[in-house]
Amino acid sequence: MAGALLDAALAGMRETGQPLSILFAATPPLYRGRDWEQVGSAERVEIPISVLAALHRLYLDVASTVDGMLDRSEPAFEVSRIFELDIVDVVSGDDGPRGYVAASRPSANDLTVWDLVARDAEAALSLLGKLSSWVGMVEQVSLRLVDPVVHDLLIGMRRDLPRLVEPFMLRVVDLAAAVEARGWPDYLPDFTVDLEITDEHAPWNAGRRRLVHDSAGMRLEPGGAGEVRMHARALGPWFAGTATTATLRRAGLLQGVAPMLDAVTAAPRQLRIADTF
């Protein structure tokens, strides 16, 4: 019954234009049986407030992108609800906001930070400084680990700090639509990779497909020789860039060799999701 519900959900998601699905790994056997696969995690770290009060350096070469961001579009997310939280601080700039922090205070001794978003290191340090102003009022901050600029380069993060890790799984619902919607590196050469995809539960993905990149961008076309065989469970880790084709071969989810499949996703890399649900 549960599997049939997931099959119906896949068809419904495709009909409503949702090319990807993410689930927390609450029941991995059920989800994996319908070709969701683990690709990353949502992570929080419990930081003593004194750590935030002792920021020790500014690293200027900040990262320009963060993976795992949801678009928070209506109706799933109401932007105005941010103002229902206990703490909302904004760093302004000449061209609009440069960053913000949104947090709640679940108890007298704790802060839970839901968002810490900054366009540059100076804005990030300013926001961290706002959190550090709670010294003496709270004992620790629960910070969602999303932006490596903040937790790797700006905070002196100790290895022994408690962490909460929630794995999540990704399913490519509609591969052609997902390829069209995803951002791809602009330095890629022209290439084609001929795929043969096995997807019992989303048959619109199955069959021979050709991944093509040229001056028009990246797209998936029907046809090709099927030189690389991919199981539906391989699509999520490949799309997310969290597993190389060599890893997928060892897992029995891919057959064949196609170095460009790794190049286009910069695999392997760690993926963290920026929202929980």
Shared domain for 35 and 80, answered yes or no, is: no
Cβ–Cβ < 8 Å for 102, 88: yes
Q: Flag whether 165 is in a domain.
A: no
148 and 221 both lie in a single domain: no
pLDDT for residue 3: 92
**C-alpha–C-alpha distance, residues 165 and 41, integer Å:** 6
Mean pLDDT over each residue of the chain, to the nearest integer = 86
| Whole-structure pTM value | 0.78
Domain contains 144: yes
Q: What pLDDT, on the 0 to 100 scale, is given for residue 76?
A: 60
Find the range with the poorest average confidence among 10-14, 76-80, 108-112. Answer: 76-80
**CATH code assigned at 248:** 3.30.1050.10
Residues in the chain, total: 277
> Does a structural domain hold residue 50?
no
From 132, 155, 178, the end of a domain falls on 155
Residue 203 per-residue DSSP state: G
**Number of separate domains in the chain:** 2
* Three-state secondary-structure class, residue 86: coil
Pairing mode, strands 228-231 and 191-198: parallel
pLDDT of residue 174: 98
Summarised one tens digit per residue, pLDDT across range 184-197 is 988 899 999 999 99
Instruction: Tokens 């839901």: give the residue.
Output: 114
Same domain, 209 and 242: yes
Looking at 155, 187, 216, the residue that finishes a domain is: 155
What region, left, alpha or beta, does residue 15 occupy, with left being phi > 0 and alpha being psi -120 to 50 degrees?
alpha
Residue 207: give the domain boundaries.
2-40+170-263
In a shared domain, residues 174 and 250: yes
Of the residues 155, 185, 204, the one at which a domain ends: 155
Whether 267 has a pLDDT exceeding 80, the answer reads yes
Q: Which among 159, 133, 170, 173 has a CA at the least distance from the CA of 52?
A: 133
- CA separation (Å) from 199 to 103, 179, 204, 272? 42, 16, 8, 26
Q: What is the CATH number of the domain that holds 99?
A: 3.40.630
Residue 34 lies in a domain: yes
* 208/229 Cα distance (integer angstroms): 9
Q: Are residues 146 and 175 in the same domain?
A: no
List of residues 6+ apart from 32 with CB closer than 8 A: 169, 233
